[in-house]
Amino acid sequence: MAAGLPREGRLASVPRAGDVVRRDDITCRLTDRLGDVASKVREAGKESCVVVADGNVVLGRVRGSALDSNPDSLVEEVMESGPTTIRTNEMLEPIVERLRARNVGGILVTTSDGRLVGTLHLSDAERRLKEASSASKDVEIDDDESSCNCNE
């Protein structure tokens, strides 16, 4: 879906990042105190905080040992700037291959103007691709795509 609208055409059923993005990220600001952010992240059972500016524009991320830094530090002092992001319309298969190759469990998803949508988790994407593969085996489409012969 683009702008919340359904997809059309031959590739409409191809799984995309927006199909599996989780929208429950913890966010923080540059001027937030790290101790407060770390508490918020841990209480939510998360491992990171996405640093955002006005309009939810992604600036960076705080994760791992940075969360254990001096609790009086500001987020700005310990964050990773400019994390890699993808768009909601990107096809899942190449994303999964890229995440596997880099041994990464997830990637931030943003709009074209950098606004946070959420996080795509590798496990969710793999599951969705498996479901799509199973579904496509159940349907045979004729060459002219005018009729569907569904196997039962």
Report helix angle 122-137 to 92-101, nearest 10: 140
Q: Is residue 3 part of a domain?
A: no
Q: Is residue 133 part of a domain?
A: yes
Tally the domains of the chain: 1
Q: Is residue 148 part of a domain?
A: no
Has this prediction a pTM greater than 0.85?
Answer: no
* Residue 92: domain span: 17-139
| CA–CA gap between residue 43 and residue 60 (Å, rounded) | 21
| CA–CA gap between residue 103 and residue 56 (Å, rounded) | 27
What tens digit of pLDDT does each residue of 32-69 get?
999 999 999 999 999 999 999 999 999 999 999 999 99
Task: Give me the CATH number covering residue 111.
Answer: 3.10.580.10
Q: Is residue 107 part of a domain?
A: yes
| CA–CA gap between residue 104 and residue 21 (Å, rounded) | 15
* CB-based contacts of 20, cutoff 8 Å, min separation 6: 92, 120, 121, 124, 125, 127, 128
Q: Is residue 151 part of a domain?
A: no
Instruction: Write down the pLDDT at residue 133.
Output: 80
What tens digit of pLDDT does each residue of 63-96 get?
999 999 999 999 999 999 999 999 999 999 999 9
Q: Is residue 76 part of a domain?
A: yes
pLDDT averaged over every residue in the chain: 86
